[in-house]
Every structure is written in C-alpha cells, then in structure tokens.
Chain A
Amino acid sequence: MGYCTHEPIEVGRLMAAVADGERGGTVAFVGSVRGGAEDGPVVAIEYSAYEEMVAEEFGRIIAEARERWPEAVVAAQHRLGQVPLGEPSIAVVAAAPHRREAFAACRHVVEEAKRRLPVWKKEQFQDGGTRWREH
C-alpha cells in the first residue's frame, strides 16, 4: 500500500495493516474535504503532489514516530487527484498496546504531514471557478 493513492482511501485497509493481537489501542485520523464558505461553496479539491518526495517524507515522519513510540505502528495515505466534498483526503492510523502511545504517534504523524508533505490543493467552486488554496 503506497503513501499516495489516486483512489478513495480505504480506512479499513489501513487499520488492518496495523492490527495485531498485542496492540489493544488503535487511533484513526481522517481528514476530509470541507465546503468552506469564504469564496462560495467548494464542490471538490484537486490535490497535486511531488509524489516521490511525499513517499520519502511520509516514511521519515513515520520512522520518527516509531523512534519516539517504539511500540506504535502507523499506516498513512494521502489521496491525490480530484477529491469530492466530504471524502477523505488523508488518513493516519496508529496502533499500540495502549491508547496513550497510539494517540501520540497518530497526532505526531498528522501534524508533521500537514507541515512537511509537498502537497497542494486547488479548490473547485460550484460555478466552475478554481483557486489555489494555501494555508
């Protein structure tokens, strides 16, 4: 399972990838496309990325989490291409023997992914207009 996908994210597959009888706590973060009213209703977001770097940077971020919380296992995916309103654009799932490590590892990967992944989004409005969205 790659870190980038052009298909809908299957959170269940990510959860299955980290599942293990010894890991009693699993935390899933799912970020989805929201409407936003600033410039009119957003109907979709077109995500583009420097895909080779996303793969490497996601790997580095997850390795950092593994170093800080050695018992946690993390799986993550970012969706690229056109993502309709309400559908997930990113999912991070962390499993650990106890909830504290699972929450911490999941949060670390989500925050660092937002800060470091080379991904860009272009909002698509109901009237057909588009706009690059920068945080």
Chain B
Amino acid sequence: MPSGGDVLAPTPRTITVECRFFARYAQALGRDALTLELPASATVADAVRELRRALPAAGVLPERPLAAVNREHASLDGRLAHGDELAFLPPLAGG
C-alpha cells in the first residue's frame, strides 16, 4: 500500500492518436494514416484544428467533419485518449 506521502506519477502532457483518412480525404491528403501528437486534454475538434494547421492539404477536411473514435461515431467535443484511433469520414454514401 502506498503511504499518504507518495508522489503520484505525473500526468503526461501530450497524447498521440492514430488518425485515419478514407475515400476523398485520403485521396486529397495522399495518405490514409498519420500519427498526431496533441495536448492531453484534446478533443476531436482540437485534432481537426491541428491537422488543418499542420498539413496544407488538410483544408480538404471541413471544420466539422464526421469522425469516429475507436470505430464508433464520435462528436467533435469528444475527449481523446492516448492511443485512440481517430477516423475522419467523408459524407457517408453506403448502400
């Protein structure tokens, strides 16, 4: 049992997420994946902003793209965790 005086491990200041791009986005970006480093408290919207800042071709992503985290539809204010798979989905057209 740790004593009351133990120092907790410091919270990591950054996380990395695995971004995936599909269809029109992958074509415009010329890639289908990218590892992105973000502040520990980052949301999906923060990831979009960072991508649009870091990659000139990421202008193909709208400010509010459809996104999925770990293969589930996610909202833009959803908080990201280290190691998450963050996918950007062009407008869906299945069927």
> B-contacting residues of A (Cβ < 8 Å)?
31, 47-50, 52-54, 56-57, 78, 89-90, 110, 113-122, 132-135
**Cross-chain contact of B93 among A50, A53, A133 (Cβ < 8 A):** A133
**B94 to A119, Cβ gap below 8 A?**
yes
Number of B residues whose C-beta is below 8 Å from A? 16
In the complex, which residues of chain B have a beta carbon less than 8 angstroms from the beta carbon of A116?
A: 73, 92
Residues of A contacting B93 in the complex (Cβ-Cβ under 8 angstroms): 119-121, 132-135
Residues of chain B touching chain A, judged by Cβ–Cβ distance below 8 Å, are 20, 22-24, 68, 71-73, 87, 89-95
When C-beta atoms are compared, the residue in chain A nearest to B24 turns out to be A132
Question: B34: shortest Cβ distance to chain A, in Å?
Answer: 15
Do B90 and A113 touch across chains, with their CB atoms under 8 A apart?
no
Quick one: closest B residue to A89, CB to CB? Answer: B95
Q: Is the CB of B90 within 8 A of A50?
A: no
Complex CA distance for A49 and B93, rounded to whole angstroms: 10
Query: Which of chain B's residues have a CB closer than 8 A to the CB of A47?
Result: 94
Chain A's closest residue to B94 (CB) is A119
- In the complex, are the beta carbons of A48 and B92 less than 8 A apart? no
